[in-house]
Amino acid sequence: MRPFTYERARTPAEAAAAAARNPGAKFIAGGTNLLDLMKLQIEVPSHLIDVNGLGLDRIEATPEGGLRIGALVRNTDLATDERVRRDYGVLSRALLAGATGQLRNKATTAGNLLQRTRCPYFYDTNMACNKRQPGSGCSAIGGITRHHAVIGASEACIATHPSDMAVAMRALDAVVETVRPDGTARQIPMAEFHRLPGETPHIETALERGEFIAAVTLPPPLGGQQFYRKVRDRASYAFALVSVAAVVQRDGTGRVALGGVAHKPWRVEAAEGELTRGAKPAMAAILGGARPTHENAFKLTLAERALASVLADAKG
C-alpha cells in the first residue's frame, strides 16, 4: 500500500469536486475491494475520498413507480428491503448469492458495480496484465482460464466481471445516476455502463475520471417469476462459474442476463425472443459467436443447462 491522503466528502458535488482537484484520487465506500487491491499495489491512489458520509444510503420510490437506490446502500440492506424482495426478486437473490454476510454488510451498491475482475493474473503483480498495466500483455491467455470469459473477450483481455448484483440489474434495465467532476449529472443505462475489454481492458466502465455514482434506479416492477441461479464449485462464498438472472412471464417470454461469461453482465435482448422455444435455441442466440478456451468451453453447456433448469422451475 502506497501512502495516501484522505478526506471525507459531505455532498456528492463535493466528492466530485475533490476528485477533480486530485488526479490520483479514488472514492472509497465499503472498501472491501479497493483496500485489498491497494494492499497489493494493484490500485495506487494518492488520495482517498471517503463517500460514506454523503447520506446516500436510502432506497426511495420514484415517481415512475420504480426504486432509486442510493449509491451507499449496503448490499445487505438492498437485498432485504421489502420492496426489493417483493418486486425485484432477481436482485435480492443475486445479492444474497454474493460474497458473505460480513462482506455484504460493508459492500455498497456503487462499489459492487465497480468491483474489479478476479482474474488471478490480475492479482499477481509479477505477471503481465493489460488491465493492470496497459500494454504489458495478458498472462491469462494460454494459462489458467477456467473462470475466464467465453464471449466478448479480446486479444488484450479475457477477464470476466465478477459481480452478481450487476447481472440482475442488467436484466432489470437499471440506470446508473452520476455526478461529473464539473458538477453535472447524467444517467447511464446498465447496458452501456460496463464495457467490453477491446484494446483497453483497463477502462472498464463508461465513467469519466472522477465521475461519482449517486444512485441506481430501477424501472417499475416487471412482475413475472424472477430467478438468480448461480453455479459454483462450492455452495457459498465463491464467484460464479456461470450465473443466470432471469425474469420469466407467464406466457414464457422474459429476459435473461448472464454472469461469469464476459467482461460485463451479458445480455442479448434480440435473443430473448427465443426463450419461448426453450433453453437450447435461446442460449445458442445469447452466446452466439462465443470463443471459449479449452479450459472454459464447459461454460457454454453449463449456461444452457442452467437456463433450462430455470425455465423448468418457471413452468413449475
Give residues in contact with ligand SF4 (CB under 6 A). 117, 119, 121-122, 129-131, 138-140, 157-159, 201
Which residues are CB-neighbours of 91 under 8 A, at least 6 positions away? 78, 79, 84, 165, 168, 169, 172, 218
* Residue 213 binds which of another protein, ligand SF4, ligand FAD, none (CB < 5-8 A, kind-dependent): ligand FAD
Asked if 33 touches ligand FAD (CB under 6 A), the answer is yes
Alpha carbon 6 to its chain's center: 26
- Count the neighbouring beta carbons within 10 Å of the beta carbon of residue 25: 21
Q: What are phi and psi of 108, to 5 degrees?
A: -110, 170
Q: Is the dihedral of CA 167, 172, 173, 178 positive or negative?
A: negative
How many residues bind to another protein according to rule CB under 8 A? 37
Pick from 69, 90, 114, 287: which binds ligand FAD (CB under 6 A)?
114
**Pick from 211, 227, 190, 258: which is nearest to 96 by CA?**
227
* Residue 243 binds which of ligand FAD, another protein, ligand SF4, none (CB < 5-8 A, kind-dependent): none
Q: Which is closer to ligand SF4, CB of 98 or CB of 197?
A: 197
Asked if 106 touches ligand FAD (CB under 6 A), the answer is yes
Asked if 110 touches ligand FAD (CB under 6 A), the answer is yes
Mapped onto helix, strand or coil, the DSSP state of residue 186 is: strand
Q: What are phi and psi of 89, to 5 degrees?
A: -55, -35
| Binding window for another protein (CB under 8 A); candidates: 7-15, 71-79, 120-128, 249-257 | 120-128
Asked if 175 touches another protein (CB under 8 A), the answer is no
Pick from 60, 65, 102, 144: which binds another protein (CB under 8 A)?
144
